[in-house]
Amino acid sequence: MLQSRGLPTGWWYSDAEREADRAATLARRPTQDLWVFAYGSLMWDPAFHFSEVRRAHAPGHARRFILLDTRGGRGTAANPGLMAALDTCPEGPGCDGLAFRIPAAQVEAESAILWQRERVADGYLSRFIDTTHAGGTVPALTFLADHSSATMVPTLSRETQIEYIATGTGILGTSADYLRTIARQFAELRIADPDITALLARVEARIAAASATPT
């Protein structure tokens, strides 16, 4: 399907590479149950089965729009898209999201689904970080931005971020809809994220201005 759309192929991990990363990561897990911290699309579409979900906070981390998509998901090489990644940010206020608990007996099966979704290719590092929620502090699995990957571009200007989100589109939809969905999820959860609010306002203004421009 990708070739028929003129999109690049061969950039994804093999099953063996993906499984090796999963096995190495799970071998380091600090608890038998697996907590998973979600900061983006996993919040509304986790795909795996879980027994519990809680509002959670990840100190020392930030949700940043630095994940460049040129492979056809929500952007292409001609019109790049942009999505959120979790980045280390020791001096920031931390990142709010959701924590899902996968019971120990289901970790093997459900983590395989999680890796097939989140570790398709390079861009992330599978790591355990401390998260806080009503039950206290719990180490949770998450997927951190890998700055050595060409898909992570932390130096993007705000104007470039807005342009890519406003114009990026692919087989999964538009980058703008991705941002809108995050904002809707936050509204439902009563999570205040001034950066998301401000970014969405500027993206909507960019889209409206482009629609009003005569062709």
Q: Among 17, 108, 118, 204, which one carries the catalytic annotation?
A: 118
Q: What is the pLDDT of residue 8?
A: 53
Q: Which residues pair with 137 in a beta bridge?
A: 132
* Cα angle 149, 173, 9; round to 5: 45
CA pair distance 34, 202, nearest whole angstrom? 37
Taken as a whole, the chain contains a residue count of: 215
Fold of 14-208: Hypothetical upf0131 protein ytfp (3.10.490)
CA-CA-CA-CA dihedral for 182, 37, 26, 153, to nearest 10 = 50
Q: pLDDT tens, 98-114?
A: 999 999 999 999 999 99
CA pair distance 207, 205, nearest whole angstrom? 5
Q: pLDDT tens, 160-186?
A: 999 999 999 999 999 999 999 999 999
Q: What is the pLDDT of residue 137?
A: 94
Residue 48 CB neighbours (<10 A): 20
- pLDDT of 13 over the 60 cut: yes
Q: Running DSSP on this structure, what letter comes out for residue 105?
A: G
Percent of the chain at pLDDT > 90 equals: 77
- Picking from 26, 31, 25, 97, the residue whose alpha carbon sits closest to that of residue 61 is 97
- Picking from 39, 52, 45, 31, the residue whose alpha carbon sits closest to that of residue 128 is 31
Q: What is the pLDDT of residue 162?
A: 98
108 is known as an active-site residue: no
Give the CA count within 13 Å in the CB-facing half-sphere of 190: 1
Indicate the SS3 state at residue 187: helix
Q: What are 215's two structure tokens? A: 């062709």
Q: Running DSSP on this structure, what letter comes out for residue 49?
A: -
Domain coordinates of the chain in residue numbers?
14-208
CA pair distance 183, 69, nearest whole angstrom? 20
Q: For the whole model, what pTM was predicted?
A: 0.89
Kindly report the average pLDDT of the chain as a whole number.
91
Q: Are 97 and 43 in contact (CB under 8 A)?
A: yes
- Which residue reads 């924590």 in tokens? 99
Q: What is the pLDDT of residue 102?
A: 98
Mean pLDDT score, 54-81: 94
Q: Which of 3-7, 88-92, 171-175 has the lowest mean pLDDT?
A: 3-7
CA pair distance 113, 107, nearest whole angstrom? 10
